[in-house]
Amino acid sequence: MDYGTFFFTNVASMTVFTVCLGVLVIRNRRVTGLNWMVGGLVVGLAKLVLQGLEGKAPLLFSAMLANELYVVSFFLQFMGLRWFVVRRPMRSRWPWYAVGLMVVVYTGMFLARIPYGGNVTNVCFLTVCGASVWVLMKNGRGPFVAASRFAAAILVADFFVAGYRAFLTVAHYTRPWETINAHNDSRWLYSLAAMAFLATFMVMCDIWFLVAELNRELEVQARTDPLTGALNRRALEDAALREIARSIRHGIPLCMIMIDIDHFKRLNDKFGHAAGDRVLQTLVTTVQGALREQDLLARSGGEEFTILMPHTLAHTGRAAAERLRRMLEELVVPHSSKAIRFTVSIGVAQFESSLGGWEETMRRADSAMYKAKAHGRNRVEVEASETV
């Protein structure tokens, strides 16, 4: 295999991959992980072009800069993979500092013509590779489990091929500028081809992660209220049937809470519908922040919300409802330089298998909520059979 031909075809294929994923980024800019991945592809493509010019361009670019860009491209890929499976920003900045330090150290060793300087980039590359596998195996779950496992397998193969190339570097090319002599080394060339082959699979993994993310978003949209982000009525019914089945099977108490904003129509008429939407969103944010992880909040009507509380008896549900009522009463919702206050009426009912299913429990909680309205609003009522 000819060295020049190999790099020409590799650059051509990576250009196509980069352009295609770049178009996907333009269409899906909110998918931050894909932005990182395409950034890695762009940097990797620049590295390929420079590496392909080895022997025709100054070694400062075709060797030193190319090796540094290679590590940077894999680190950007790591950031993209991490975004998909971890779902939260990286708080620590030390990985960035570590990559920056690697670049400085490698640059100094290259310019000083110190042997074994290539080990700096080799060690850094292997570290990033190993960290990527660890993050994928630890956090890859849900819609990303299959893509994570496959990407981890590709990265393990990358690790071993890169390790073999590190061995070749130490054994035969101790000075980075000597790799120009490897153009006729079949071991060097075929290991490069193996890395290019694995890089193609990683591009497929990038697309796989994007598809999984879009599917996840569709599932979320099908289950949530678009205005508030709370579960919608269909998702509430699914969750209620599941929790009621668990309650019957294991004898676990289950409580349902109904919340209705008092005089919501009057609030809309006075402040406008945008203000009403802001109130709904603030209510959901506040309530979700006060609930336990296992509790579920859904928008069951225009200004009505339902909470499912597993492992909860009626008196505990009442205490939780009273706490929520006080929190919401104390809220001040800013809107167009105006301060909006509102109150809620809350009904509580405990699931009883002898009385019916989830619809009957919802009816009883709704009845208790209307009693709260009838008794003056801004209060909590418990369904009569459970006030003992």
| Same CATH fold assignment for domains 3-222 and 233-386 | no
Q: Which residues make beta-bridge pairs with 298? A: 231, 306
355 pLDDT above the threshold of 80: no
For the chain, domain boundaries = 3-222, 233-386
Query: pTM score, two decimals?
Result: 0.76
Which of the following CATH numbers is that of domain 3-222: 1.20.1300, 1.10.3470, 1.20.1070, 3.40.1620?
1.20.1070
pLDDT confidence bin for 62, thresholds 50/70/90: confident
- How confident is the model over 367-382, as a mean pLDDT? 94
| 206, pLDDT greater than 60 | yes
Which tokens go with 201?
């699979």
In this prediction, residue 388 carries a pLDDT of 39
Task: State mean pLDDT over 174-198.
Answer: 80
Q: What is the band of 176 on the pLDDT scale with cuts at 50, 70, 90?
A: low
Q: Which CATH superfamily is domain 233-386 in?
A: Reverse transcriptase/Diguanylate cyclase domain (3.30.70.270)
Residue 281, token pair as written in the block? 């969103």
Contact 380, 372 (CB under 8 A): yes
Residue 349 has pLDDT above 90, yes or no: yes
Residue 305: which residues within 8 A CB-CB, separation 6 or more? 230, 258, 259, 260, 283, 284, 287, 297, 298, 299
Mean pLDDT of 133-149: 94
- Long-range pairs, 13-17, Cβ under 8 A, ≥24: 13/196, 13/200, 14/41, 14/44, 14/45, 14/48, 14/199, 15/45, 17/41, 17/200, 17/203
Segment 339-361 shows an average pLDDT of: 88
Mean pLDDT score of the chain: 89
- What does the DSSP 8-state code read for residue 54? B
| Most confident among 2-11, 191-200, 350-359 (mean pLDDT) | 191-200
Amino acid at site 101: L
Closest CA to 294 of 339, 334, 253: 253
Q: What would the mean pLDDT of 301-323 be, rounded to a whole number?
A: 93
Reported in sequence order, the residue ranges of 165-302 that DSSP labels E, i.e. its strands, are 254-261, 296-299
CB count in 10 Å sphere of residue 186: 9
Measured over the CA atoms of residue 199, residue 200, residue 206 and residue 208, the dihedral's sign is negative
* pLDDT average, residue stretch 148-171: 92
Q: What percent of the chain has pLDDT over 90?
A: 61
Is the pLDDT confidence value at 6 over 90?
no
DSSP state of 88: S
Per residue in 272-300, pLDDT tens?
999 999 999 999 999 999 999 899 999 99
Map residue 298 onto helix, strand or coil. strand
**Which range is least confidently modeled, 108-122, 154-168, 210-224, 246-260?**
108-122
